[in-house]
Amino acid sequence: MTKKKNVLDQFDFIRAIACFGIVLFHFAVEYGWPLAFRDFGGGVTYVDIYVTVFFFISGALLFYNHRQVEEIKLFYKKRAFSIFPPFYIAWGLLYLRDVLRYKNLFYRGNPFSIILSLVGMDGYLAYKVQDYYIIGEWFIGAVILLYLLYPLLAWFDKKCKSVTVCGIIFLYILSLWINISGMVPFRTLPSCLLSFYIGMFFVDYRTSAEKYWWIGAILVVCVKFVAFGNVNLKGHVVGIGMAYFLYGIGTYFMKNSIIKRIIQFFSGLSYYIFLTHHLTICLLIKFVPVESNVIIRVILLLVVLGVTVVSAMVLRQIWLTIRQICKI
């Protein structure tokens, strides 16, 4: 039991850092400062890297806890229960706000596209459909698809690992050459699946990261200055290298009880932060012009981070209260 707890601590460390990185990236994109939080180099952005880490840790955690899915119905029920209720609460409040503002239930036109929000796919398909995407991030939809695929993926991995590995690599390479969806390459399902499966694969070799974490750090630094023919591939290499590095150093950081409590707090809050941070950023940056001096901008960033955490805590508390009242 102790060993399992330590492993989960390291996964918590990765998830908390990736969550924090995504918030900083979106702040930089929406506010236009600082660029150091936005661009990694060579066409790769930090969100490409942190989303790769996010899918990596999602695959690793699922495989670590559910190497075999014996009860598929129960598996899907638990995954849905972890994703949809907080999403519905946050989305529902904002949808109600917009309905009252525009005095129209279907203020964005097509009433059928609201179904995409009900199944959590509005952000993932917003590039294609005029839907009711008002909160959360696109990768929530991608995670839902990966969760749906996971039982089949785990079965194939157990029965014929080599075929599974080759199949996923083939689909990924094919998606780089032929992008029939029209999505940004990092958002295509084969791209997300690659990071997710590498996370699964990593579980059986995770102890190597405790000793050789520096290899991941060197890989990230070296790739930053190496020209790649494909930006998507470069982002994956950096993301996997960073995940490997974070797992390794997380082994040592999480031995400190204070750091451990802080990391576990933010890791447990990460999904709620994903749901609330973008809206919080867009609301608060309106009050501080980007031309303001550096001190004011730093204060704004700290306020954004603070309000994001508080709003995430409020959302989580609303959900916990509903669960207690309804005895769910």
- The total number of structural domains that make up the chain: 1
pLDDT at 316: 96
Domain that holds residue 123: 2-326
Q: Is the pTM of this model over 0.75?
A: yes
Report the 3 state secondary structure along the chain. Answer: CHHHHHHHHHHHHHHHHHHHHHHHHHHHHHHCCCHHHCEEECCEEHHHHHHHHHHHHHHHHHHHHCCCCCCHHHHHHHHHHHHHHHHHHHHHHHHHHHHHHHCCCCCCCCHHHHHHHHCCCCCCCCCCCCCCCCCCCHHHHHHHHHHHHHHHHHHHHHHCHHHHHHHHHHHHHHHHHCCCCCCCHHHCHHHHHHHHHHHHHHHHHCHHHHHHHHHHHHHHHHHHCCCCCCHHHHHHHHHHHHHHHHHHHHHHHCCCHHHHHHHHHHHHHHHHHHHHHHHHHHHHHHHCCCCCCHHHHHHHHHHHHHHHHHHHHHHHHHHHHHHHHHCC
List pLDDT tens digits, range 260-309: 999 999 999 999 999 999 999 999 999 999 899 999 999 999 999 999 99
Radius of gyration of the chain (CA): 20
pLDDT at 213: 94
Average pLDDT by stretches of 10, the chain with 328 residues: 58 95 95 92 90 96 91 93 94 93 90 91 87 87 95 94 94 86 85 96 92 93 82 92 96 95 96 94 93 94 97 96 86
